[in-house]
Chain A
Amino acid sequence: MKRTIAPKPAAALLVLLLTALSGGGLAAAGTAGKGQAARTSKHAGQGITCVQCHGKAAKKSAVAMQQCLGCHGETKELAARTAQVKPTNPHENRHFGTEADCNRCHHEHMTSENLCLPCHKFNFKVP
């Protein structure tokens, strides 16, 4: 299930344009805020469309973590894969165990962030 996902802005834009034109686009995709089209998408360009994550419902909402797991696999497997990360395993921590919501760090439509940083000196690179 492991794969490298690199953002491809140009392709992302194209997908958005196409979906917007066809009337199936997301006016407010997840984190992008109301009335604002998503600027970037790491998934787009890999053959993944907006509806695959956001669904077809008229009212689009943020993507539930369950959706991420559907493609990327179980959190426990992920935690096992990052067990050696120093200084600590980001996917198994004291706050959330192996159940931290992916969306808290990994952002699809904006730059990802290291949620630990405000409190800890863990310099994780968050893809």
Chain B
Amino acid sequence: MSQEHFQEDKETDQYTKQVIENGLSRRSFLSRAAGGAAAAGLFGLSGLPAVAAGTAKTRDLEVATSSDGGATLSFLPKPKPIRDREIAETLTFDVVVVGAGASGVPAALSAAENGAKVAVIQKAPFALSQGNTGSGVDLATSEKAGVEALVARLIADSNHRCNPKLIRQWAYHSGEAVRWVIDRARQGGSPVVDQGSPVQRAILKVNGYGMGYVTSFFGPKPYTTGDGMRHLAKTAEKAGVRFFYLMPAVQLVQNKAGEVMGVIAKGSNGKYTKFLAKKGVILATGDYQNNKAMSDYFVPDVKHLGRKQLDKTGDGFALAYWAGGVIEPIGHTKMLHDFDAGPASMCDMPFLAVDRKGRRFVNETVEMSLLNNYLRDAENAGHYSQIFDSNYMAQAATWPGKLVPPEGLKNYMPDDPSPKKGVFESQVNTHVADTIEELARKIEADPATLAATVKRYNEVVASGKDSDFGKPADRLIPVVKAPFYGIHRRVRVSAICSGMLVDENHQALNAEGKPIKGLFLIGNLGGGFYGGVDYPLTVFGLSLGRCYTFGYLTGRHVAKL
């Protein structure tokens, strides 16, 4: 497909060049290492390219400084050498996948189906991932112009800072890949369904061209993609893939030429196992949201915001960095949501929105996926509430999104005794009250502040013009008729979506732009697919769809090497 797009090479060069110039790699560090403390094995810290930054020597430890001279980087400690006698066992495979998540399990199965002997080493006691929806483009029901228009839309969503080749790769292969994941997960016992195009109703036409989708749904909650990947792992086991659980990868095995030969993992008994990979190691370890130093450095915006995952400490970043890989420049793309407090289908509906205290803070047509930018401070820390009154079913009927009637809202009310279905009961946070003050107490806002906000908002609505925030007139409905409703949402980091430099085969590139033999990076550890401040919700389930697709393609590619 690449021949069809004469623009591509040039565009990719731009992206790759930018990452090499401004990303984080060992290149400059290595050139200095001979005399440096790191060579003596004291401290392994990273270096920015000399053009962008320098190093500072404090006594006997060398630290990199960011281009403004401020930051020191200590989150990528050089792995301690593991001596041969510490290795309890050495096992040889064709392909070794690190991480059994949304990209790793598909990669392993795909490699096995293409004839490889495959091992998966997983930090957790089982396959683990999050979310429900994964998406792909159904080429059979899409116009070619539509596919390209969607590619253009996604590039724009990434502020034109992504690698267009990777977006096209998703666009042209995701339908096949997501369908394959659905089929293989079903074989493992998963209730997964293809929701197809209807759930993508906002993007069925792009620039007037028609589009169709394959949309995998691992749900409803509490069933999620985590369970889905456990079912897929069953199919993979049947196909001969060996899974090693509770075994975090701690180090890559490299030969003198820098080729990756395998990976060393640590068992819960403290003993190491060396996994040799004849064809390649595929790292699929996810993001680094639970590594505070890394997060503060690459995405300072989310310093005060909660996390939705556990144990995502960026292990793969450290492994690939020390093998010569390049981390995308500072300003990584973040994904923050709360689809649990109330109905997901109402999250973008432009009801009155108030901050944690009860103040209006935004033109409510801003989507939930972007609201984190207004709630970054320690006080708000991602908390806000959507407020509406009992006329909402009639008055918001024509708004985009899907209204859930009052009876259905009870499913999201912690104070309501009715049994909950399809939700995480401990995370629902929707409330109803007869007065605004009582509602304020339930959504944990300040009653007087909320009352004043609602009063002012109703004045604005009555005037027919939002002179405070400029929201369109047809999105202005008053909050006057009891009972009043409030959905207390709290956006937390779902994922960080920026990663490390790869080519179209998802092979890691070094700071010279050359492939690192034997090393492949997929899922959120792979870079180039995003580039904006926030993950776009244009295509619902793009993130998981991308993980499945690149797992499927990379597993096959490496197996065939």
- Chain A interface (Cβ within 8 Å of chain B)? 64-66, 87-88, 94-99, 118-122
Contact = CB atoms under 8 A, between A and B. Distances in A.
A99 B270 contact: no
A59 B270 CA distance: 16
B125 A97 contact: yes
Nearest to B226: A94
B306 A118 contact: yes
B306 A99 contact: no
A120 B126 contact: no
B268 interface: yes
Contact of B308 (A65, A119, A122): A119
Interface string B297-320: 000000000111011000000000
Given A64-B268, A66-B268, A121-B427, 10 more contacts: A65-B268, A66-B269, A95-B128, A96-B125, A98-B125, A99-B125, A99-B246, A119-B426, A120-B426, A121-B414
B222 interface: yes
A119 B290 CA distance: 14
A118 B424 CA distance: 14
Contacts, number: 40
B8 interface: no
Interface residues of B, number: 21
B124 interface: yes
Given A87-B425, A120-B426, A96 B124 contact: yes
**Most chain A beta-carbon contacts within 10 A, residue among B308, B311, B426:** B426
Contacts of B426: 87-88, 119-122
27 contacts: A64-B268, A64-B270, A65-B268, A66-B268, A66-B269, A66-B270, A87-B425, A87-B426, A88-B426, A94-B222, A95-B124, A96-B125, A96-B310, A97-B124, A97-B125, A97-B126, A98-B125, A99-B125, A99-B246, A99-B268, A118-B307, A119-B306, A119-B308, A119-B426, A120-B424, A120-B426, A121-B414
A66 B226 CA distance: 26
A120 B414 CA distance: 12
A120 B306 CA distance: 12
A119 B427 contact: yes
Contacts of B492: 119
Contacts of A66: 268-270
Contacts of A94: 222, 226
A120 B128 CA distance: 19
Nearest to A98: B125
A64 B268 CA distance: 9
B310 A95 contact: yes
Interface in B397-414: 414
Contacts of B128: 95
Interface in B488-514: 492
A94 B124 CA distance: 11
Contacts of B306: 118-119
A122 B125 CA distance: 22
A98 to B, nearest CB: 7
Interface string B187-205: 0000000000000000000
Contacts of A122: 426
Nearest to B310: A95
A64 B271 CA distance: 12
Nearest to B429: A121
A76 B226 CA distance: 21
Contacts of B226: 94
Contacts of A121: 414, 426-427
The 9 A-B residue pairs whose C-beta atoms are closest, nearest first, are A120-B426, A99-B125, A97-B125, A121-B426, A95-B310, A97-B126, A118-B306, A122-B426, A99-B246
Contacts of A95: 124, 128, 310-311
B423 to A, nearest CB: 12
Interface string B423-464: 011110000000000000000000000000000000000000
A19 to B, nearest CB: 24
Nearest to A115: B310
B479 to A, nearest CB: 27
A122 B427 CA distance: 10
Nearest to B224: A94
Contacts of B425: 87
A88 B424 CA distance: 12
A106 B300 CA distance: 30
Nearest to B269: A66
Contacts of A99: 124-125, 246, 268
A96 B310 CA distance: 10
A120 B424 CA distance: 9
A118 B427 CA distance: 10
Interface string B108-138: 0000000000000000111010000000000
Nearest to A104: B310
Nearest to A64: B270
A64 B425 CA distance: 33
A97 B123 CA distance: 12
Interface in B265-282: 268-270
Nearest to B245: A99
Nearest to A75: B125
A87 B425 CA distance: 10
Nearest to A121: B426
A121 B125 CA distance: 24
